[in-house]
Structure 1
Amino acid sequence: MRNLWRFVYTVIGIIFRHPVTGTSIIPILPDGRIALIRRRDNGRWALPGGMVDWGEDIPTSVSRELMEETGLELLQIRRLVGVYSAPDRDPRIHSICVVVEADVRGEMNIQDSLEVSEVQGFEVNSLPIGEMSHDHDRQLQDYMKGLTTLA
């Protein structure tokens, strides 16, 4: 019984005391605009993305989250923009976010209307910097500076 309790305690610790891995995508449309979503929970603009599902790798998660939130198809991941792991970067949970730049195509069409209220393409000079959810302001600013960030 003691070994069972130790096992259960360890599993609970892993689930509740360790960061969750997620992704953010900087989707580059064929015309050079960047697609952003408006989050339904806080009404703020954000990069599309979300948690990596069990059994998924990062590229699969990027493709799935992009389609769910924007209706866009992933053509290729261009580069790693950064890994953001500050415990307070997401107000809901401690998460580690892998941010990538990606070429995308298709029609912007929300698939997950419970999380997303709007999807829109922005010219680089009209991005809503200062009005983004979570730490997406920083992620976009690092991207525009050409940085690869570990934070």
Structure 2
Amino acid sequence: MRRLWHFAQAVLGILFRHPVTGTSVIPILPDGRIVLIQRSDTGKWALPGGMVNWGEDIATSIQRELEEETGLEVARICRLVGVYSSPERDGRVHSICVVVEVQATGSLKINDPVEVIDVQAFTPADIPIGTLSHDHDRQLKDYFAGHTTLA
């Protein structure tokens, strides 16, 4: 049912030619590792996140997507990393992505096996930069550089 709703949102965005709003979350564990998910559609590693549901604010979307995809909870939203809106950033639909850093707690667990095939925590040096899904390489590079980006 959820996958059908995501498809319907994408179709509506295409029909009405308006971008879809989404989020990417940079979850930082207490030990400093960063959590990534492995996407089932591409097999690539990515930041957790997804589309903002109708009637939902960004903070709620961040909490929901993080829990659905990683099993983690948001302990604290730390900072806005950027807003990424290039029409080429996602091949499926024109989306505007709000990227935030959060402190996360809990145990890693896939709660959405339709979208996620693996979830792991990486030290910053071990993140496979250059092979991530969508524009997540750029999002993480901006994060590590301490930038707040509007692109």
Q: Same fold (TM over 0.5)?
A: yes
* Paired position in structure 2 for 1:148: 148
Residue 115 of structure 1 aligns with which residue?
115
The aligned residue for residue 63 of structure 1 is 63
Of residues 52-61 and 15-24 in structure 1, the stretch that sits farther from structure 2 once superposed is 15-24
Calculate the aligned-residue CA RMSD, in Å: 1.3
- The residue type paired with residue 100 of structure 1 is V
Segments of structure 1 that go 5 or more residues without pairing to the other structure are 1-11
Indicate the residue corresponding to 2:92 in structure 1.
92
**2:75 alignment partner in structure 1:** 75
Structural mapping, 1:2-151, within 5 Å: 16-151=16-151
1:36-87 superposed Cα distances (whole Å, 9 cap, x missing partner): 0000000000000000001110000000000000000011110000000000
Greater radius of gyration (CA): 1
Query: Could you tell me the percent identity over the aligned residues?
Result: 68
Matches of 1:42 and 1:106, distance apart in 2: 26
Distance 1:35 1:13, change over 3 A: closer
Change (3 A) 1:43 1:56: same
Determine if contact 2:23/2:97 at 8 Å carries over to the other structure.
yes
Report the Cα offset of residue 15 of structure 1. 5.4
Question: Which amino acid is 2:96 matched to?
Answer: I
Q: Residue 8 of structure 1 aligns with which residue?
A: none
Unaligned runs of 5+ in 2: 1-11
Equivalent pair of 2:13/2:19 in contact (CA under 8 Å): no
Work out the number of aligned pairs and report it.
Answer: 140
Per the normalisation by structure 2, the TM-score is 0.90
Give the Cα–Cα distance (whole angstroms) in 2 for the partners of residues 105 and 13 of structure 1.
34
Partner of 2:38, secondary structure, is: strand
TM-score (norm 1): 0.90
- Whole-Å Cα distance in 2 between the matches of residues 84 and 22 of structure 1? 10
Distance 2:97 2:117 in 1: 22
CA deviation after TM superposition for structure 1 residue 13, in Å: 7.9
